[in-house]
């Protein structure tokens, strides 16, 4: 009786869900046109063009996501729930083409119109979109450090060739997703890096990553275990688990964390290892790519944190600089004076662009007695001195 009663209800829910699922699929992708403008700085026309394209793509996403949300809105409460969930997702550009491009002969401003295909699916599953996102992030280079411990090697180590199987498996996943991965053997510094990782000392690892030219550091540990013989069988049970973190090498800001596990039965550890390494790395690195992509997508659609350090300034000049950045720096969404000590000010700028873009805005600022000169720059940090 219970089965007979529940079956029509289940069928009814399935029938109700079917058109909603079809609408969700239809709404998951939109082709839109949008315009963007770029302003040349220091006569850099190519940079102005890139800025115009980036602004157009950002507007395309905003426009498309708004359309997607509208297409999900319905009158009854049951479907409005879907709308609220959907509105939290972010769209991303799968592909685009430039429809028109014009340069103002007087001030050099570049205006472009693009046609973009915007999706709300999982960015990490779209290889073309992921590569486009990396390009918009200026192709960050990645260093990977994964130490491991196995049933036949009880201490943490880097593997027999200095790059263990776990690390190799993670690198393979990242390269398949289009990431530029550096050779990390020089970062390992013998047993020193192992001790830093075991103690959770990320700062020293980040410094090593910066010296190697990495913008992103992925590091973690993988452990394999022999769980013993399986009862009434000639097989043994083997298991592995891996944990990974991704940080911006210059600021230490987290890009994501992930974990993966794999368990298998085999006649020998040698036979089990390839499956375990591949399984746990695919799970952990795949999840991490998704988190990195979500963070980067949020940054290209909105703003990112850029740390500006100014030396040779007074407290009054630091306060004036904060005000000037907020008023005059194009793309500054928020400015906070995080620290002032001696004659050094550290400001956090929520900025639509990276440190290179922010550097182009500094000449616009008028801080009494403190003309700024850039002395150092990375992707997300900028150091300037009062001259």
CATH code, domain with 111: 3.10.129
Instruction: State in Å, rounded, how far the first CA of the chain is from the last one.
Output: 86
Q: What is the pLDDT of residue 73?
A: 44
Q: What is the pLDDT of residue 162?
A: 64
Q: What is the pLDDT of residue 15?
A: 38
Q: Is residue 18 domain-resident?
A: yes
Q: What is the pLDDT of residue 163?
A: 72
SS3 223: strand
Tokens 């009786």 label which residue?
1
Where do runs of H (alpha helix) occur along the chain?
2-27, 45-72, 77-86, 127-136, 165-176, 191-198, 202-211, 269-301, 315-328, 355-359
Q: Which of 226, 242, 231 is nearest to 285 (CA)?
A: 242
In this structure, are 208 and 146 located in the same domain? yes
Q: Is residue 171 domain-resident?
A: yes
Inter-residue contact 97 to 113 (CB < 8 Å): no
Q: What is the pLDDT of residue 190?
A: 55
Q: What is the pLDDT of residue 19?
A: 47
In this structure, are 179 and 48 located in the same domain? no
In this structure, are 326 and 195 located in the same domain? no
Task: Give the residue numbers spanning the domain of 333.
Answer: 304-386
Q: Is residue 127 domain-resident?
A: no
Domain total for the chain?
3
The tokens of 253 are what? 């800001």
Q: What is the pLDDT of residue 10?
A: 40
Sign of CA dihedral 163, 167, 173, 175: negative
In this structure, are 89 and 222 located in the same domain? no
Q: What is the pLDDT of residue 125?
A: 66
Sign of CA dihedral 78, 84, 90, 94: positive
Q: What is the pLDDT of residue 306?
A: 96
Angle between helices 45-72 and 77-86 in degrees, nearest 10: 160
pTM, two decimal places: 0.73
Q: What is the pLDDT of residue 25?
A: 43
* CATH code for position 169: 3.30.160
In this structure, are 293 and 313 located in the same domain? no
What span, in angstroms and rounded, lies between the C-alpha atoms of 23 and 25? Answer: 5
Q: What is the pLDDT of residue 371?
A: 93
Inter-residue contact 251 to 305 (CB < 8 Å): yes
In this structure, are 26 and 85 located in the same domain? yes
Q: What is the pLDDT of residue 77?
A: 41
Is residue 235 classed exposed, middle or buried when 0-12, 13-18 and 19+ CB atoms within 10 A define those classes? middle
Q: What is the pLDDT of residue 75?
A: 39
Encode pLDDT of 301-347 as tens digits.
778 999 999 999 999 999 999 999 998 888 888 999 999 999 999 99
Is residue 306 classed exposed, middle or buried when 0-12, 13-18 and 19+ CB atoms within 10 A define those classes? buried
What span, in angstroms and rounded, lies between the C-alpha atoms of 373 and 343? Answer: 15
In this structure, are 182 and 87 located in the same domain? no
In this structure, are 201 and 237 located in the same domain? yes
Q: What is the pLDDT of residue 66?
A: 61
Residue spans of the chain under pLDDT 70: 1-27, 41-43, 65-91, 120-125, 160-162, 189-191, 200
What span, in angstroms and rounded, lies between the C-alpha atoms of 270 and 365? Answer: 63
Q: Is residue 132 domain-resident?
A: no
Sign of CA dihedral 325, 327, 328, 330: positive
Q: Is residue 134 domain-resident?
A: no
Where do runs of H (alpha helix) occur along 225-312?
269-301
Q: 10 Å Cβ neighbour count for 267?
A: 11
* Number of separate helices (H) and strands (E) present in the chain: 10, 14
What span, in angstroms and rounded, lies between the C-alpha atoms of 371 and 383? Answer: 13
Tokens 């097989």 label which residue?
235
Inter-residue contact 158 to 222 (CB < 8 Å): no
In this structure, are 332 and 221 located in the same domain? no
């Amino acid at each position: 009786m219970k089965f007979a009663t529940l079956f029509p209800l289940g069928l009814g829910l399935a029938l109700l869900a079917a058109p909603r699922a079809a609408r969700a699929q239809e709404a998951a992708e939109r082709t839109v046109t949008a315009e963007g403008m770029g302003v040349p700085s220091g006569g850099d026309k190519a940079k102005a063009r890139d800025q115009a394209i980036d602004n157009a793509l950002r507007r395309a996403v905003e426009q498309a996501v708004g359309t997607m949300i509208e297409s999900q809105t319905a009158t009854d409460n049951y479907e409005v729930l879907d709308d609220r969930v959907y509105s939290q997702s972010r769209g991303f550009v799968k592909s685009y083409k430039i429809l028109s491009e014009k340069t103002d002969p007087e001030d050099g401003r570049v205006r472009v119109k693009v046609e973009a295909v915007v999706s709300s699916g999982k960015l990490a599953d779209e290889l073309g979109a992921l590569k486009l996102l990396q390009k918009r992030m200026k192709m960050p280079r990645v260093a990977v450090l994964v130490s491991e411990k196995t049933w036949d090697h009880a201490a943490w180590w880097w593997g027999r060739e200095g790059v263990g199987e776990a690390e190799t498996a993670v690198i393979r996943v990242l390269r398949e997703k289009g990431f530029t991965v550096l050779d990390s053997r020089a970062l390992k510094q013998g047993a020193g890096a192992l001790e830093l990782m075991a103690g959770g000392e990320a700062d020293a690892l980040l410094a090593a990553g910066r010296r190697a030219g990495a913008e992103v550091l992925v590091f973690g540990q993988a452990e394999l275990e022999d769980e013993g013989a399986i009862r009434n069988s000639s097989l043994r049970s083997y298991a592995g688990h891996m944990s990974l973190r991704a940080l911006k090498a210059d600021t230490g800001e987290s890009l994501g964390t992930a974990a993966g596990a794999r368990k298998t039965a085999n006649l020998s550890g040698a036979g089990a290892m390839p499956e375990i390494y591949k399984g746990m790395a695919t799970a952990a690195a795949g999840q991490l790519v998704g988190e990195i992509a979500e963070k980067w997508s949020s940054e290209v659609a909105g703003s990112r944190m850029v740390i500006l350090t100014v030396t040779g300034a007074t407290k009054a000049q630091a306060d004036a600089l904060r005000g000037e950045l907020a008023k005059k720096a194009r793309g500054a969404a928020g400015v906070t004076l995080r620290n002032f000590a001696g004659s050094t000010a550290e400001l956090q700028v929520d900025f639509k662009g990276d440190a290179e873009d922010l550097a182009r805005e500094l000449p616009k600022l008028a801080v009494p007695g403190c003309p700024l000169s850039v002395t150092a720059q990375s992707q997300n940090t900028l150091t300037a001195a009062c001259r």
